[in-house]
A and B are shown apart, each in its own frame.
Chain A
Amino acid sequence: MKQTAPTSLHVAFAALGLAFLAIFSWVLFHEGVADWRTTQARFRRIEATVKNPHQLAAAASVGGLRQIWLPELDRVDRCGTCHLGIDDPSFAGAPQPFSSHPGTWLTTHPIDRFGCTPCHDGQGQATDYLNAAHQPQPFVTRPMRPLETIEANCGACHRAIDAPDAPRLDEGRALIVQSGCFSCHDIPGFDGLTFHGPALDSLGSKVRPEWLPGWLKNPKGYLERSKMGNFRLSNDEITVLQAFLLSQRAIPPLEGMTVDWKKADTANGRALFGELRCVSCHAVNGRGGTMGPELTRIGDKVRRDWLFSFLKDPHRVQPETAMLQYRLTDVQLRDLTAFLLEEYRSGDTGPEPPPVTYQDARAVMAGRGIFERRGCTSCHRLGAMKNTGRIGPSLAGIGDRNPDELAFGRGNVRRTADNYIFLKVLHPDALLQTSMMPTFDFAPIEAARIALALASIRKADLPVSYVRNRPMPPPFTPAGHFGELVTRYRCLSCHSVGGFGGTLSTVPLDRIGSQLKHDYISKYLLNPGAVRVSVEARMPFFHMLPDEATTIADYMTSVLLDDTLDRYDATFSEADVQRGQDLYTQLGCVGCHQLGTVGGYVGPVLSDVGDRLRPGWIAAWLANPERYKPGTLQPDYGLSAADARALTAYLSSLVDGGRPKSAEQGGRQ
Chain B
Amino acid sequence: MTEKRDGAGDERPESPDLQRRTIFTLGCVGLGAATLGFGGATVRYLVPNVLYEPSRRFPIGNASDFPAGSTTFLPERRLFVFNGPDGLFCISSICTHLGCNVRHAGAGFECPCHGSRYDENGRVISGPAPKALAWYAITLSPRDQLIVDLDHVVGPEFRLRA
Chain A–chain B contact at Cβ < 8 A: yes
| B3 & A24 in contact (Cβ 8 Å cutoff) | no
Number of A interface residues at 8 Å Cβ cutoff, please give it.
Answer: 39
Which chain A residues have a beta carbon within 8 Å of chain B's beta carbons? 1, 3, 5-7, 10-11, 13-22, 24-25, 27-28, 54-56, 59, 64-65, 67, 69, 76, 78, 87-90, 106-107, 110, 112
| A56 & B142 in contact (Cβ 8 Å cutoff) | yes
| A10 & B30 in contact (Cβ 8 Å cutoff) | no
| A78 & B50 in contact (Cβ 8 Å cutoff) | yes
Closest partner residue, chain A, to B8 (CB atom): A6
| B52 & A69 in contact (Cβ 8 Å cutoff) | yes
Known: A17-B28, A55-B139. A3 touches B57 (CB 8 A): no
Known: A59-B57, A112-B59. A107 touches B26 (CB 8 A): no
Q: How far is the CB of A62 from chain B (nearest CB, A)?
A: 10
**Chain B residues with CB under 8 A of A55:** 139, 147
> What are 27 sample pairs from A and B whose C-beta atoms fall under 8 A apart?
A6-B6, A6-B20, A10-B10, A10-B27, A14-B23, A15-B27, A16-B31, A17-B29, A17-B30, A17-B31, A17-B34, A18-B26, A21-B31, A24-B37, A25-B37, A28-B37, A55-B139, A55-B147, A56-B142, A59-B57, A64-B49, A65-B49, A65-B50, A69-B52, A87-B142, A87-B143, A90-B142
A contacts with B: majority SS: helix
| A3 & B7 in contact (Cβ 8 Å cutoff) | yes
Q: Which 5 A-B pairs have the closest CB atoms?
A: A17-B30, A17-B27, A14-B27, A13-B27, A21-B30
**Chain A residues with CB under 8 A of B98:** none
**Chain A residues with CB under 8 A of B149:** 59
**Chain B residues with CB under 8 A of A24:** 34, 37-38, 41
Is the C-beta of B64 less than 8 angstroms from some C-beta in chain A? no
Q: How far is the CB of B26 from chain A (nearest CB, A)?
A: 4
**Chain A residues with CB under 8 A of B3:** 3
**Chain B residues with CB under 8 A of A89:** 142
| A13 & B24 in contact (Cβ 8 Å cutoff) | yes
| B34 & A21 in contact (Cβ 8 Å cutoff) | yes
Q: How far is the CB of B90 from chain A (nearest CB, A)?
A: 16
**Chain A residues with CB under 8 A of B20:** 6-7, 10
| A10 & B142 in contact (Cβ 8 Å cutoff) | no
Number of B interface residues at 8 Å Cβ cutoff, please give it.
Answer: 32
Known: A54-B142, A64-B49. A11 touches B38 (CB 8 A): no
Most central of B26, B30, B147 by chain A CB within 10 Å: B30
**Chain B residues with CB under 8 A of A7:** 10, 20, 23
| B41 & A27 in contact (Cβ 8 Å cutoff) | yes
**Chain B residues with CB under 8 A of A1:** 7
Closest partner residue, chain A, to B145 (CB atom): A110
Closest partner residue, chain B, to A106 (CB atom): B143
B 16-52 to A, binary, CB cutoff 8 A, 1 in contact else 0: 0000100110111111011001100100000001101
**Chain A residues with CB under 8 A of B58:** 112
Extra contacts besides A87-B143, A107-B143 (8): CB < 8 Å: A6-B7, A6-B20, A7-B10, A10-B10, A14-B26, A16-B31, A21-B31, A87-B142
**Chain A residues with CB under 8 A of B23:** 7, 10-11, 13-14
| B27 & A18 in contact (Cβ 8 Å cutoff) | yes
Q: Of B6, B31, B142, which contacts A20 at CB under 8 A? A: B31
| B41 & A88 in contact (Cβ 8 Å cutoff) | no
**Chain A residues with CB under 8 A of B31:** 16-17, 20-21
Q: Of B7, B49, B55, B142, which contacts A112 at CB under 8 A? A: B55
Closest partner residue, chain B, to A23 (CB atom): B34
**Chain B residues with CB under 8 A of A6:** 6-7, 10, 20
| Bound Cα distance from A277 to B152, whole angstroms | 72
| Bound Cα distance from A20 to B10, whole angstroms | 23
Most central of A5, A14, A16, A89 by chain B CB within 10 Å: A14
Q: Of A20, A21, A22, A54, which contacts B141 at CB under 8 A? A: A54
**Chain B residues with CB under 8 A of A19:** 30
| B26 & A17 in contact (Cβ 8 Å cutoff) | yes
| Bound Cα distance from A76 to B50, whole angstroms | 10
**Chain A residues with CB under 8 A of B27:** 10, 13-18
| Bound Cα distance from A90 to B20, whole angstroms | 64
Closest partner residue, chain B, to A4 (CB atom): B3
| Bound Cα distance from A15 to B27, whole angstroms | 7
Which B residues between 50 and 87 are near A, CB-CB below 8 angstroms?
A: 50, 52, 55, 57-59
B 120-162 to A, binary, CB cutoff 8 A, 1 in contact else 0: 0000000000000000000101110001010000000000000
| Bound Cα distance from A28 to B42, whole angstroms | 12
